[in-house]
């Protein structure tokens, strides 16, 4: 799956979101989208990295401490 394919999936989902709003103006879309994408991204990457936070952080281009913070925020990792 290419970057372009992922972008198209997001674009299609957003078009559907606006259609579902039926003219109502959206609010807080950026935060909504980041939360909707970030959790499954972290879950899949952690699974593929065999829960190795250092490896997952490297794959994501994040500092390990930042990854750990995000895992806690999304309740993927217990404190």
pLDDT in tens, 26-36: 999 999 999 89
Domains of the chain with CATH codes: 3-73 (1.10.10.60)
How much is the mean pLDDT over the chain?
A: 94
Q: Quick check: 73 pLDDT over 70? A: yes
Q: In sequence order, which residues have a C-beta less than 8 Å from that of residue 33 and are 6 or more positions away? A: 10, 14
What is the rounded average pLDDT of the residues 63-67? 98
**What is the greatest pairwise CA distance in the chain?**
45
Cβ contacts of 72-78, under 8 Å, gap ≥ 24: 74/38, 74/39, 74/42, 76/39, 76/42, 76/43, 76/46
pTM to 2 decimal places: 0.81
Q: Quick check: 4 pLDDT over 70? A: yes
What is the rounded average pLDDT of the residues 56-71? 98
Residue 79 DSSP label: -
Q: Quick check: 56 pLDDT over 70? A: yes
């Amino acid at each position: 799956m290419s970057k372009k394919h992922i972008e198209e999936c997001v674009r299609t989902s957003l078009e559907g979101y606006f259609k579902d709003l039926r003219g109502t103006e959206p609010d807080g879309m950026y935060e909504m989208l980041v939360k909707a994408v970030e959790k499954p991204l972290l879950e899949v990457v952690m699974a593929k990295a065999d829960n190795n936070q250092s490896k997952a952080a490297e794959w994501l281009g994040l500092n390990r401490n930042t990854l750990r913070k995000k895992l806690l925020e999304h309740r993927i990792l217990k404190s």
